[in-house]
Structure 1
Amino acid sequence: MVSDDMTTLGTEVACAKINLALHVRRRLANGYHDLETVFAFLDCGDVISAGTGSDIQLAISGPFSGGLSNKDNLVLEAAHLLASHAKVETGAHLTLDKRLPVASGIGGGSADAAATLRLLNRYWGLQLNLSDLAKLSETLGADVPACVLNETSCGKGIGQNLVPIKNGPLTGCFGLLVNPLVPISTATVFQQWDGMDRGALSGTDPILAAIAGRNDLQKPAETLAPVIKTILSKLQQTDAVMARMSGSGATCFGLYRTKKQVNAAEKMITETLPGAWTMVGGLK
């Protein structure tokens, strides 16, 4: 555990990731899947803090800290990976404030690992650029490089071939995240996918293509958690520019033009689905 007298020297938000679209094209021989996706990020999520320490340690707090290990955790893997890469001999006492549900399709551990890399890069004075950090992070998971870049981008391959893009027609939007507090295994959702290639993202504007696109994991996720369909039905009754499930679920999102619209949507969701978790943030 991190001692009570630890001096906190920096924090970093592990921004919630949403997939504006997620097209699964084919299963690869290595067990991964060939994807086309558009990643976007909200300006809220978990929070990583770093303080002085002679070694690398992790403490976990927050509403979703229960059951998480402070020994076997992607945050520690990221910290040790960066320390080894940069030959850092000093430590850091890390704290993860876990505000996002676990196994929820919005980055979670990937975003935590990415935020750890950004924070320790700054804390240790390494001055690596984000592209270098993203490349380094590839072994930590398919979504980690996108979470390191922390900006709207098109992802291909297993999601690690990234091209940053502008938010275009979604600039200035607010996002509402809704999760039924039903954890879903990404591996199980992919196993339930029917293997059918329903086509690529199409069009010259990637944001418009994403809005017109789909999440191919939504149907298999709904078989595991039918409440996802209920949440999406509720979101589609609001003023959302778009509403979709993110990643492998079970979190769904709606994007809104104004703060008034997103707040009204959150109020409706909490009143009609009182057991659901919600979070509101701005689209980065």
Structure 2
Amino acid sequence: MEISLKAYGKINLGLDVVRRREDGYHEVKMIMQTVDLWDELTFCDVTTDEIVITSDSSELPDVKDNIIYKACRMMKDIYGIDKGVHVTVDKHIPVAAGMAGGSADAAAALKAMNMLFGLNLSDEQLMEHGVKLGADVPYCIMQGTALSEGIGEILTPLPPMPDCLIVIAKPAIGVSTKWVYQNLKVDLLEEHPDIDGMADALKTGDLKGITDRMANVLETVTIPANPVIDSVKKLIAENDSMGVLMSGSGPTVFGIYDNRDKELAQRVVDMLREKDEIQAAYAVSPYNIRRGM
């Protein structure tokens, strides 16, 4: 049996860190949005007990450090699956970019294992497994537009983001999420994003109300260590974006454009692709799983 799934990336329209818990985890309050940039994963069950992962990307971690491997192994162990699986990954979401590419791939792996081996698990059950792999995995199972709280596992669906264009630029650097959170001084944060106001703007379909509130407290750590991110933000902002922000722990930057500005958004992408410091640039749209768009 063979199953092919798309693993969609995400951006953070707003990201706040509320506090650092005694166990070292950080409590967050953020609004997540799936975008139509994806990895494609193909899963085949095999008669041996092996988990084999092949990819067109040299950036994926070695097999046993790979989150796809960990997801498949966890499901095999929990449910006593004696067959193995061969996974082929066609990689498009930038690696170590703040777009949850690894978490999206893990979410696809959990869904595929569920389907391949007839486990009949609900999305809620898959999300309970997913949080053991990473805080973004439950969201990547749910997808769409959502308020994320706790360590990222408490998810509240929100109305879809209004139609728009999202210019995405990935500088030619990687950023460790763990390092960023370790160096975040939560108690010293002077400003916090208006996440509640952004949620209200989503409920009324107010794109400007969303872009006016875009903010990410992790920029206070990632940008001083990687000034290229600020340069990319300024370049996009100077080209008439409605709002521009770093996604997640970075280094990916995104700018929002009105749907009527397709030519402008594409010109910005073309300009970004000419820059030596940019590894990848795209113009994408919000993806809403609940309406399949």
TM-score (ref. length: structure 1): 0.87
Q: 1:193 to 1:127 in 2, by over 3 A?
A: same
For this pair of structures, how many residues does the alignment match?
274
Q: Residue 152 of structure 2 is aligned with which of 143, 151, 159? A: 159
Superposed counterparts of 1:52-201, under 5 Å: 52-54=45-47, 55-62=49-56, 64-66=57-59, 68-167=61-160, 170-195=161-186, 196-197=188-189, 198-199=191-192, 201=195
Contact 2:242/2:257, CA 8 A, preserved across alignment: yes
For residues 271 and 132 of structure 1, the distance between their equivalents in structure 2, rounded to whole angstroms, comes to 45
Q: Please state if 1:268 is matched with 2:265.
A: no
Deviation at residue 98 of structure 1 after TM alignment:
2.7
How much has 1:41 moved relative to structure 2?
A: 0.9
Question: For 2:274 and 2:85, how far apart are their aligned partners in 1?
Answer: 43
Letter of the aligned partner of 1:39 in structure 2? M
Cα distance, 1:201 vs structure 2: 2.1
Q: Is the 8 A contact 2:20 2:27 kept in 1?
A: yes
Q: Could you tell me how far 1:39 is from its partner in structure 2? A: 0.8
Deviation at 1:210, TM superposition (A): 5.3
After superposition, the Cα gap between the structure-2 partners of 1:77 and 1:210, relative to the gap in structure 1 and judged at 3 Å, is: farther
Question: Retained in 2: the 8 A contact 1:103–1:184?
Answer: yes
The one-letter code matched in structure 2 to 1:186 is T
* Counterpart-to-counterpart distance in 1, 2:45 and 2:115: 13
2:274 pairs with 1:283: no
Task: Give, in angstroms, the shift of residue 262 of structure 1.
Answer: 2.8
Note the alpha carbon deviations across 1:187-215, whole angstroms, 9 max, x for none. 22123323235345233616367531410
Cα deviation for residue 254 of structure 1 reads: 1.7
Quote the Cα distance in structure 2 between the aligned partners of 1:262 and 1:115.
30
Residue identity matched to 1:40: Q
Structure 1: which amino acid aligns with 2:179? T
**8 Å contact from structure 2 (residues 123, 142) kept in 1:** yes
Q: How does 1:196-235 map to 2 (within 5 A)?
A: 196-197=188-189, 198-199=191-192, 201-203=195-197, 205=200, 207=202, 211=211, 212-235=213-236
RMSD: 2.2
Q: Which amino acid aligns with 2:52?
A: L
Q: State the AA in 2 paired with 1:282.
A: S
Question: 1:58 & 1:42 partners in 2: Cα distance?
Answer: 28
Shift of 1:272: 4.5
Residue 274 (structure 1) shift: 6.1
Q: What's 1:244 paired with?
A: 245
Give the counterpart letter for 1:240 in structure 2: S
Q: Does 1:28 align with 2:21?
A: yes
**Unmatched runs of 5 consecutive residues or more in structure 2:** 288-293
The corresponding residue for 2:291 is none
Q: Deviations over 1:84-118 (max 9, x none)?
A: 33333332211222323321111021111111112
* Rounded Cα–Cα distance in structure 1 between residues aligned with 2:220 and 2:150: 22
Identity %: 30
Structure 1 distance, partners of 2:237, 2:221, is 20
* Aligned-partner Cα distance in 1 for 2:272–2:257: 14
CA contact (8 A) 1:154 1:206 kept: no
Contact 1:201 1:210 in 2 (8 A): no
Cα offset for 1:154?
0.3
